Structure 1
Amino acid sequence: MTIVVTAVACGSDSQAADHDQTLDVGSYSTQRADSAFDDQPSRARGILVESLRLGERIVFGSDVAPEFQAGHGGNVIATAGGIRNSDGVFAPPLAPHHPLAAYIAASAETPYISEYHKGYTLSVALVAFPDEQSAAAAAVDMNQNDFAANAKNQAVGIPDYPAAQSHWRPGVPNLGSWLAWKSVLIAVYVEAPQANLDQLTGFVARTYEQQIPKLDGYVPTPADQQPMLKLDRDKLLSRLVSTGSQVLDPRQFAVYSPRGYAVLGTSPAADARDYDSKGVKAIAVSDNKYLYQMRDADAARDFTAHLTDVPTVSKYIPMRGVAGAPSIACFKATQPNPTVAGARQFRCLIPYERFVAEVFSDQESDVRQLAAAQYAVLKGSK
């Protein structure tokens, strides 16, 4: 399929140099996608949105200690069916207290570790409850549930946090701790190379010290109001080429704040600083496409240059772009990203006004068609 795109030459729009020309968009639609996923009340969507709100506030491991400088990603662990079991978080003892949302993030001393890793790791989860009493009771039940699983477990205290519910097994280099802060449960699970209790409790205390201030101002959305929460209030996802089924998913179809998105990477603190300094306001994710909403057109131009120089873990070299749209830059990977599944061999950047779109594919001709279609959708998304 081909379409004719007419460029509007005004202001600082980086597309002003693009000429009227037929673009090859293949079989991709150039119509703006609808936002039906946000139209009706949805409990599942509300839980996702509320969980992403928690993710925006979760502590970075590098803020706790140098031993946790590398991010290992974050994820929503609350669904309409309940909480998913994760490090330090177990569904059965939480269920009676009616959790509203939950998010977990992990970190370690290096970005990539094997299942046999014996170094430093830290997992922090935030679970929101309807009230302070529920969160406090959940902390006690979480600790007792895990404590009862092994007769060798022993209760431990966390310096400066007497309300924390914590235990370890002497000689085993890990520790679990749960602290209710207002209506949010903070769950911490830490591992180290040696079974040093003072070191482990110190890490947990430092985690609480860094995490609690980040929860200032957070007020959980009441359960009866969650179904009305919108995933995409600014209609960013509808500005991306529609290639999927629009199934809500924290990794495949969602909208993030800059800090919340930074949690997903291997260098969260550095990425968050970059997004802030470069004017990133929000990031929409849809399958193999990403849309960065920028402060203004100048920030979009500068961020495009930044993504060109520092794209991802993959290493890219420039290749021929899209005929008829010289503002689109395309690249070929010389070193695939080992941390990302899916189509990532070819990549194009599409700046337009105060947006920057980034698309990926494993086929060179396909990525150009996808980029051309993305350009057309952005131009038609007034």
Structure 2
Amino acid sequence: MADQVVTGQEIDPRFTWGKGAIPVSGGTNASQLVQGANGPVLKEIAKPDGMMYGIAVATSDMKPGEYGRLPPNAATATVVVMQFPNDTAADRAATEIEAADLADTPGQNPLDLPDYPRAHAHWNPNDSIAVSTLARGSYVVTLILGNIRDSGGPAAVLHKTYADQIPLLDALRPLSMEEILRLPYDSDGLLDRTLNTAAWGDPSFENQATMALRGFLHRVDDQDRYRKLLTEAGMDRAALTQDASYHTSMVIRTRDEQAARALTARIVQVPDAAPADSPIGPPYSACAENKNADFTHKRFRCAVGYRRYVATVDGDQLRDAQQRADAQYALLANSL
């Protein structure tokens, strides 16, 4: 599903920064991402209507600061997509989500979306929050916009988002509960080739997943940079693991070996990073030191290339990152 949810720059070119992505299930509090809308209302309404699974993604026009905080004037866009057992349940859930949000946040003004007459939409001009919910087949889409103050207003951005999102959902076949359980965990074998020294995690978009470009962009902060890099490299699939200590490993499959070599050198070259010594073993590798490291972003990141694959690992100490890079290279070389 993550690969069929619009990214920030598909909504509007201004939304270049990822704010995060979380899977939505019966035990998920979507308010972790939903700004200005009632996340618990989304969850509590969705559960009685048989919500099966979903995802919430958020983007902004400004770089998140420490702990993911945004400046108060940042424009934001959040997209929540959920699947229900059938069209009737989805229609009912969309209506109930709108009614519950209006009851919980009085003072809303209705928004007219002529191209989408079945969409519920409202906004509060005092806090510049707009919310819209639309049922499409077995799916429900909820859009939350914050600080959209340009001439077209939130209605124009909502129209654009639906125009891009609906075709993606129409191409995504709804699943039964049994089909969800039987989905292949690692059909490309990329997770098997991704370093996970703690053997930590379970099938989850947050810490153990494979994805195409759209899904990958939902997981990173500088979406504009990664979109350009990975598009140039011809990336078609990636795997990502993250342990409880925020050690992240990624394996990216590119167009060919030449593209992989170029990406290996460039992927660690982020703003405010300084070159660091590369590991000796892998023939194609690069390391960098993050000058703005915090508890969720490690100080060092290393990349290695093997054939058409590029992998990154990170660590708080350079030697740790180098050793992880050596191990990751061996994992690729011995499995391909």
TM-score, normalization by structure 2: 0.85
Please tell me whether residue 327 in structure 1 is matched to residue 267 in structure 2: no
Please tell me whether residue 316 in structure 1 is matched to residue 274 in structure 2: yes
- Does structure 2 retain, via aligned residues, the 8 Å contact 1:159–1:202? no
Moved more, 179-188 or 115-124: 115-124
- Does structure 1 retain, via aligned residues, the 8 Å contact 2:91–2:135? yes
Structure with larger RCO (C-alpha < 8 A, sep 6+): 1
Q: How far apart in 1 are the matches of 2:7 and 2:230?
A: 15
What's the counterpart of residue 357 of structure 1?
A: 311
Alignment RMSD: 2.6
Q: Assess, with a 3 A threshold, how the Cα gap between structure 1 residues 163 and 381 changes in structure 2: closer, same or farther.
A: same
Q: Assess, with a 3 A threshold, how the Cα gap between structure 1 residues 348 and 150 changes in structure 2: closer, same or farther.
A: closer
- Does structure 1 retain, via aligned residues, the 8 Å contact 2:229–2:263? no
- Does structure 2 retain, via aligned residues, the 8 Å contact 1:83–1:102? no
What's the counterpart of residue 70 of structure 1?
A: 16
- Does structure 1 retain, via aligned residues, the 8 Å contact 2:110–2:122? yes
What's the counterpart of residue 245 of structure 2?
A: none
Cα distance, 1:115 vs. partner?
5.2
Q: How far apart in 2 are the matches of 1:235 and 1:209?
A: 34
Q: Percent of counterpart pairs with the same letter?
A: 24
What's the counterpart of residue 321 of structure 2?
A: 367
What's the counterpart of residue 48 of structure 1?
A: none
Q: How far apart in 2 are the matches of 1:197 and 1:295?
A: 41
Deviation digits for residues 109-148 of structure 1 (CA, Å, limit 9, x no counterpart): 2223645613422111111122222211111000001111
Please tell me whether residue 179 in structure 1 is matched to residue 134 in structure 2: yes
Please tell me whether residue 84 in structure 1 is matched to residue 29 in structure 2: yes
Q: How far apart in 1 are the matches of 2:151 and 2:282?
A: 60
Q: How far apart in 1 are the matches of 2:286 and 2:126?
A: 53
For residue 178 of structure 2, give the secondary structure of its aligned residue in structure 1: coil
Cα distance, 1:328 vs. partner?
4.3
Cα distance, 1:55 vs. partner?
1.6
Deviation digits for residues 228-263 of structure 1 (CA, Å, limit 9, x no counterpart): 112211221222333123322423322121221012
What's the counterpart of residue 205 of structure 2?
A: 250
CA radius of gyration, larger in: 1
Deviation digits for residues 195-233 of structure 1 (CA, Å, limit 9, x no counterpart): x99612222222212222222311122112111112211
Structure 1 residue identity aligned to 2:5: I
Q: How far apart in 1 are the matches of 2:136 and 2:167?
A: 10
Q: How far apart in 2 are the matches of 1:297 and 1:150?
A: 54
Cα distance, 1:103 vs. partner?
1.3
TM-score, normalization by structure 1: 0.75
- Does structure 1 retain, via aligned residues, the 8 Å contact 2:249–2:312? yes
Q: How far apart in 2 are the matches of 1:258 and 1:227?
A: 24
Moved more, 241-250 or 216-225: 241-250
Q: How far apart in 2 are the matches of 1:375 and 1:207?
A: 40
- Does structure 1 retain, via aligned residues, the 8 Å contact 2:83–2:139? yes
Structure 1 residue identity aligned to 2:206: R
Q: How far apart in 2 are the matches of 1:292 and 1:303?
A: 10
Q: Assess, with a 3 A threshold, how the Cα gap between structure 1 residues 289 and 99 changes in structure 2: closer, same or farther.
A: same
Number of residue-to-residue matches in the alignment:
320
- Does structure 2 retain, via aligned residues, the 8 Å contact 1:294–1:354? yes
- Does structure 2 retain, via aligned residues, the 8 Å contact 1:278–1:303? yes
Q: How far apart in 1 are the matches of 2:172 and 2:83?
A: 10
For residue 225 of structure 1, give the secondary structure of its aligned residue in structure 2: helix
For residue 233 of structure 1, give the secondary structure of its aligned residue in structure 2: coil
Structure 1 residue identity aligned to 2:120: Q
Deviation digits for residues 54-73 of structure 1 (CA, Å, limit 9, x no counterpart): 2212222333334x422223
Q: Assess, with a 3 A threshold, how the Cα gap between structure 1 residues 62 and 280 changes in structure 2: closer, same or farther.
A: closer
Q: How far apart in 2 are the matches of 1:378 and 1:123?
A: 36
Structure 1 residue identity aligned to 2:274: Y
Structure 2 residue identity aligned to 1:158: L
Q: How far apart in 1 are the matches of 2:55 and 2:151?
A: 27
What's the counterpart of residue 127 of structure 1?
A: 82
Deviation digits for residues 262-281 of structure 1 (CA, Å, limit 9, x no counterpart): 12334435633532331212
Deviation digits for residues 159-214 of structure 1 (CA, Å, limit 9, x no counterpart): 321111122345342121101122211101112266x9961222222221222222
Cα distance, 1:375 vs. partner?
2.1
Cα distance, 1:100 vs. partner?
2.0
Deviation digits for residues 71-105 of structure 1 (CA, Å, limit 9, x no counterpart): 223423323x4442332451111112212221122
Q: Assess, with a 3 A threshold, how the Cα gap between structure 1 residues 293 and 181 changes in structure 2: closer, same or farther.
A: same
- Does structure 1 retain, via aligned residues, the 8 Å contact 2:278–2:302? no
- Does structure 1 retain, via aligned residues, the 8 Å contact 2:24–2:54? yes
Superposed, 1:51-62 pairs within 5 Å as 54-62=1-9
Please tell me whether residue 210 in structure 1 is matched to residue 164 in structure 2: yes
What's the counterpart of residue 281 of structure 1?
A: 236
